[in-house]
């Protein structure tokens, strides 16, 4: 939920934000049946099956290619590291109500939108739509899942460095 929150801050408090980087984000959940159902599934699993919650989050957070590359042992180690804490469940509940579309045209900060081409959590067309809605934003895409900064750390850091160090 970092992208929607950061975008809202940039729109509502432009005095605080000179540069903005939105990664694997979305502008609204209402009307997107995929997102609505994914978040509903997480809410249900989080209250009744913590292990299944962790497995679902791992499966959607990382690309299939990445999970296959790290192998079963490492994948199994990811699952308990994604528990459905009360804070996480509040986060998921808020995910179901995101709608910042009206705020996007107000963003004045220099903005880089990074999409994750293999994102199963928030499909990449959502990042492309953010880019289209923010005037004079730039767009880059990484061939990774939702947690692109983890899967493709060097590529991610290079994009961020180039954007933040540019004059």
pLDDT digits (tens), the chain, 167 positions: 899 999 999 999 999 999 999 999 999 999 999 999 999 999 999 999 999 999 999 999 999 999 999 999 999 999 998 899 999 999 999 999 999 999 999 999 999 999 999 999 999 999 999 999 999 999 999 999 999 999 999 999 999 999 999 86
* pLDDT on residue 166: 81
- At what angle are helices 86-95 and 33-48 packed, to 10 degrees? 160
The reported pTM is 0.94
* pLDDT on residue 9: 98
Element at 79 (helix H, strand E): none
Spatial CA neighbour of 27 closest among 46, 44, 8, 53 = 8
Query: pLDDT (tens digit, 9 = 90+) per residue, 34-72?
Result: 999 999 999 999 999 999 999 999 999 999 999 999 999
* pLDDT on residue 7: 98
Enter the tokens of residue 4: 């929607």
Q: In what order do the strands lie in the sheet with 110-116?
A: 19-23, 110-116, 138-142
d(CA 77, CA 15): 42
CA distances to 11, 113, 126 from 156, in Å: 24, 12, 18
Tracing tokens 């939108």 back to the chain, one arrives at 113
Q: What are phi and psi of 72, to 5 degrees?
A: -55, -45
Spatial CA neighbour of 71 closest among 83, 62, 84 = 62
């Amino acid at each position: 939920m970092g992208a929607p929150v950061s975008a809202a801050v940039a729109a509502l408090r432009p005095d605080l934000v000179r540069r903005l980087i939105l990664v694997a984000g979305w502008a609204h959940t209402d009307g997107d049946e995929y997102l609505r159902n994914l978040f509903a599934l997480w809410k249900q699993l989080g209250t009744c099956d913590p292990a299944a919650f962790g497995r679902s989050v791992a499966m959607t957070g990382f690309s299939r290619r990445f999970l296959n590359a790290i192998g079963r042992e490492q994948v199994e180690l990811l699952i308990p590291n994604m528990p459905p804490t009360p804070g996480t469940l509040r986060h998921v509940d808020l995910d179901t109500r995101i709608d910042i579309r009206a705020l996007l045209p107000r963003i004045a900060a220099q903005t880089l939108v990074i999409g994750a081409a293999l994102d199963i959590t928030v499909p990449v067309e959502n990042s492309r739509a953010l880019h289209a809605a923010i005037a004079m934003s730039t767009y880059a895409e990484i061939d990774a899942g939702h947690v692109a900064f983890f899967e493709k750390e060097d590529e991610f850091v290079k994009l961020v460095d180039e954007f933040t160090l540019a004059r």
